[in-house]
Each structure stands twice: as C-alpha cells, then as structure tokens.
Amino acid sequence: AHPPLLQLLEAVRDNAMNKNVVKGDCVVYWMRMEDLRIRDNRALAQASAQAQLSGIPLVVLHVLSPQDFTAHDRSARRIDFTLRNLQVIRSELAKLDIPLNTVSHTPRTNIPAFVVELLQKWNASHLFANIEYEVDELRRDLAVCKLANERGKVACAFVHDKCIVAPGDVRTKEGRGYTVYSPFLRTWAPLLDKTASNHLQEAKSPTTNASSIRSHPVFGALFNVVVPDSVEGFSLEPEERERITICWHAGEDAAHEMLRQFLYTASRSSHLGAMDPLEDANEAVKDPGKHSRLGKYKDQRDRLDSDTTSRLSPYLAAGVISARACVREALVATGKKKVDTSRDTGVGRWIQELAWRDFYTHIVALFPRVSMGRPFQEKYADVRWETSEEHLQAWKDGRTGVPIVDAAMRQANEMGWMHNRGRMIAAMYLVKDLMIDWRLGEKYFMETLIDGDLASNNGGWQWSASTGVDPAPYFRIFNPYTQSQKGDPGGEYIRTFVPELAKVRGPEVHNPPPALADKLGYPRPLVDHKEARERAIRRYKNIGSK
C-alpha cells in the first residue's frame, strides 16, 4: 500500500496496542459521506460490538465539512442526497435508542482536533470509522489517530469497508497492486469465494442501546440534534430538489428495492427520464438469471434507450447499500453458489462492473497522485489542450450539435446521473473531439452528478483521456455517430433528452442535416469529427515535441 494508507493502518495498530485504554462512557462510530447505512456496515458493527462488550452506549457522529465539499467539487445534489439519507438514518437509529449527532465544522484542517475534543467531552473509550481512501482523508484520519493517542485514551479503529476486497489485498506474485484490470479481476474474483476471508459476509446490524441513554444528561440531549435540510452554498432550488428526490429516494429500503427490481424484473423503455424509478414496478420474471435486467445485462448494458442497468451508483457511492450486498443478492437471484465473473452471463458482467469499482478505488489508495490532478501515466502530463470556454460551456449545456453527446449531458443536468455509455461518449467527445483537458470534464461531472465518486470518476476520465491505468489507447477514438446508432438505435434516448429533436424520426436523429437542425433550433456541430480525430491523434503522438 502507499504511504498515507500504510501510515494510517500502522497508526491504528499502534493506537490499538496502547493498552492504557480505560473504560469510557461511550463508543463512537463516525459515519462518513460514503457509508450512509446501518445494515452491513463494518465499522458500525464493530463499534456496536465494542459498546456491548464494555456495557456502554453507542453514539453516532457525522461531521458536515463544507470546505471538503468544495475541495472535492461535491455537487449540491450529492449533499442534498447525503442530508436526506442522514434524516432517514437518524430516525432508524433512534428506534434503536442510538443518537445521531450531525454537526457542521469549518475549517477542515481543524476537524481532527474538533473530533478528538468531542471524544474527550463524551469520555469515549473507542472511535470506529470506515476508511476513506482519498489522500486528504487518509491524512485527516492519521491526525485523528495521533491526537486521540496523545491527548486521550481513545482507541481508534479505521476499518476497510468500501471495497469488496480491501486495497492492498489484491496482489501480483511480486506483491504489488495491479494497474491492469483483467489480471486484477482474475486475482480478485477467487478471493470472494474464500470462506475464510469473509469478503462477502454481511456485517452484523447494531444492537439497541439501553433505553437509559435517553435520560443521560449529555447523550440524551443528542437525540434532539436534527439533520439540517441544506448546507449553505450547496442547496437546491425547490423545483430541482423535488425532481432529484423523485429520481433518487433516500434510504436503505429504497436502495434494496432498486436492487430487487434490477435482479428480478425486466427493463422498461418508458423509464428513461427524470421519473420515479420505483413506481409501477414490473412483475418479477420467472427466471431472473435469464430474463431480468441482470439476466440481460450482458447484451443490453450498453443500450441507452431503456433502463438496462441497476442505477445503484448513487447508493453505492454514498454507501447506502454495500457492494457486498449487491454481489450476495445477485448470486442468490441467479442461484449461483460461487462468484461468477464470466463475460458470458448477465450476473458475471455485472459483478465485473463492481470489480471496476474496487479496481479504481485501489488505484486511488495505492497511487494517490491520481487524486491530485495528475495523469496516472506521467508522459501524458503535457498534452496540448484547447482552451475554448465557448466549447466547454456548450458541452456542459448539451449544445454541441452532436445529439448523443447532448442527450447524455442533458440527462446528467436533469437527473444528476448518466448512463455509463453516455459518460464514455460524452467524456471521449470532450477530450478527443474538442481537445479540452479531461480534468475540466472530471470536475464538471463531480459538480453535477449525484453519484460523484473520486475514484470511479477519475478512472473513467483517465480511461477516456488515455492517460490512466489500463486506458483506451489514444488512437482508439469513439465516433459519436456510430456510438449513437449502436446505443440508441431508434433514437428514443435522444428524443427524451433533446426536445428540439423530439419529432425527428429515422436515422436523421443521430446527425440532423444542417437545414433541419436550423429549422428546429438545434445547434450545428462544434467541430468536424474526422478532422478533430486527426488533430487528437497528432497531439497525443507529438507529446514532448515543440
């Protein structure tokens, strides 16, 4: 593992070995933006077990850090989703007599001291949290660990939970982390079947606190702490909030229902736009392994014109559901005893995608430079980019004049989510056709998407820009018009998100002739794809030459 992660794990070990830990008045679980759930949550399960063992209450803490939101380009949609989930969690925890204390804190550099002071004030014996692998977060937790050790007698445990297999545990024969996906997958998959390693085992749900906590002078008062409705600088207009709330219900039950529908029901071409995904669920199909969205995922995952994928990314990014639960449930639905990662089955292809999520998170944990704006392949640090503000804005607004790119961008703007194929097409178009720096696209996705996740977003952008681990070779450039015909053969996706083209039938919807585009008030293409492609290849080829 890379120094920041290693240092944290070592600090946790040293801290746990500090045998001076005395019995305190409570155990604290620090819930982060990436683990917003009660079920199958490792740090929470361990915190609860420790509280039981010590016979003291469990208290849950959440720290809202607006400066971190800004530093990580968090979208207002993601912050709103966080708060809505916290509200559900607060009431679910209250049923277990566990208080959730949500506090806002600035500056972010002071968060370690702030948290440790709270631990001291509460006379906590232990702090548990799941690890966040971004470099700033690792350093923050390292500081918490050191301070907790120095100032108090608080034992800290930072736990691997986000990935199915922890970063550092999927290794080459030489003991290194992988930087190519296929061999990573080949090593990763068998680990899931090893019963001893428990990679898929569900973490225990927390045990109810003794009800006497309600009358405790300090902890009892925490039940009155409410989760705010918004954070300044990150609030949504009421109309937008309503739309996003309909698309993305908060709470673990909603996440599990999304999963159930994906595993057991067929796709609906009508469910493309900003609408309630849980409404009018289809009947469960007879043989989910073949006929559900999961069953058909192998062949249909790249289709933009119906709801072929799970749409669980906002829930996985915020940890409202665990990736372990997704694999477990998918295996149950398809009657598999062993983990399937075959390219030939729907379930296999889907578990492969969850492996991509692990893969990119491992990359962030092992190679922190990627989360600091650096290309993984340093040789691509000097690509010569175009700087047209006008082109960048047109791309953001979905007004590039290439319908499939515009539909994808408008889907993101409307729903806070985009289909994977749409992301690949839109990203490749920005980087290779408009020749605009991938980091500007990466930032816009983070600011717009509800599922913004540094590792997956950075991985996706660096793949498209051919600068990352296992990237698309720079000369393999998507033709957006061919992609459009493949992913949206009938044009339904384009018509849904680009109203100017709503009445265009037939192949013209993919590339409207200039006269038709003018008549409909739809923009002409910003660049000629063939010329742009040649320019991109030239620029990548000539890196380093003046």
Numbered residues of the known binding site for FAD: 297, 309-313, 350, 353-360, 451-453
Q: How far is the CB of 491 from ligand FAD (least distance, A)?
A: 21
Contact 322, 310 (CB under 8 A): no
* Closest residue to ligand FAD: CB criterion: 460
Place of tokens 């409909």: 520
Q: What's the min distance (Å) between Cβ of 55 and ligand FAD?
A: 39
Q: Which is nearer to ligand FAD, 119 or 364 (CB)?
A: 364
Burial of 331-344, coded b for 16+ CB within 10 Å and e otherwise, reads bebbeeeebbbeee
Give the shortest CB-166-to-ligand FAD separation in angstroms: 17
Q: Which one of 261, 313, 322, 334 is in contact with ligand FAD (CB under 6 A)?
A: 313
Q: How many CB atoms lie within 10 A of CB 214?
A: 14
Report yes or no: 450 and 81 within 8 Å, Cβ to Cβ: yes
Q: Which of residues 316-355 bind ligand FAD (CB under 6 A)?
A: 316-317, 353-354
C-beta closer to ligand FAD: residue 46 or 75: 75
Q: Rounded to an integer, what distance in angstroms lies between the CA atom of residue 309 and that of residue 422? A: 12
Residue 522 Cβ, how far from ligand FAD at the closest point, in Å?
A: 25
In angstroms, give the least distance from the CB of 299 to ligand FAD: 13
**30 beta partners:** 61, 129
Helix, strand and coil in the chain, % to nearest 5: 55, 5, 40
Question: Is the CB of 153 or the CB of 311 nearer to ligand FAD?
Answer: 311
74: buried, middle or exposed (CB in 10 Å: 19+, 13-18, 0-12)? buried
- Dist. CA 449–CA 384, nearest whole Å: 27
Binding mask 271-310 for ligand FAD (x = CB under 6 A): ------------------------------x-------xx
Instruction: Summarize the annotated binding site as residue ranges.
Output: 297, 309-313, 350, 353-360, 451-453
Q: Which residues of 387-402 are buried (b: 16+ CB within 10 A; e: fewer)?
A: eeeebbebbbebbbbb
- Does position 493 bind ligand FAD by CB under 6 A? no
Instruction: State residue 491 phi and psi, 5-degree precision.
Output: 80, 10
CB contact at 8 A, 143 and 8:
no
Interaction pattern, residues 452-491, with ligand FAD; x per rule: CB under 6 A: xx--xx-xxx--x---------------------------
Per CB under 6 A, which of residues 435..454 are in contact with ligand FAD?
Answer: 445, 449, 451-453
Minimum CB distance to ligand FAD smaller for 216 or for 301:
301
Q: Which helix H or strand E contains 264, and what residues bound it? A: helix 252-264
Residues between 112 and 151 that touch ligand FAD (CB under 6 A): none
Residue 462 beta carbon to ligand FAD: minimum distance, rounded to whole angstroms: 9
Query: Can you tell me the distance from the alpha carbon of 110 to that of 407, in angstroms, rounded to the nearest whole number?
Result: 43
Q: Could you tell me if residue 285 is left (phi over 0), alpha (psi between -120 and 50 degrees) or otherwise beta?
A: beta
Q: Nearer to ligand FAD by C-beta: 93 or 170?
A: 170
| Tokens encoding 190 | 């068998």
State the residue for tokens 């155990």.
27
Active site residues: 353, 356, 385, 420, 438, 461
Closer by beta carbon to ligand FAD, 46 or else 322: 322
**Residue window 408-427: x/- pattern of binding to ligand FAD, with contact defined by CB under 6 A:** -----------xx--xx--x
246 CB burial (10 A radius; 0-12, 13-18, 19+): middle
29: enclosing H helix or E strand: strand 26-30
> What residues does 451 pair with on adjacent strands?
none
Give min distance, CB of 302 to ligand FAD, in A.
Answer: 10
- Site size toward ligand FAD (CB under 6 A) is 29
Residues paired with 127 in a beta bridge: 28, 156
Cβ closer to ligand FAD: 309 or 345? 309
Binding residues vs ligand FAD (CB under 6 A):
301, 309-313, 316-317, 353-354, 356-357, 360, 419-420, 423-424, 427, 445, 449, 451-453, 456-457, 459-461, 464
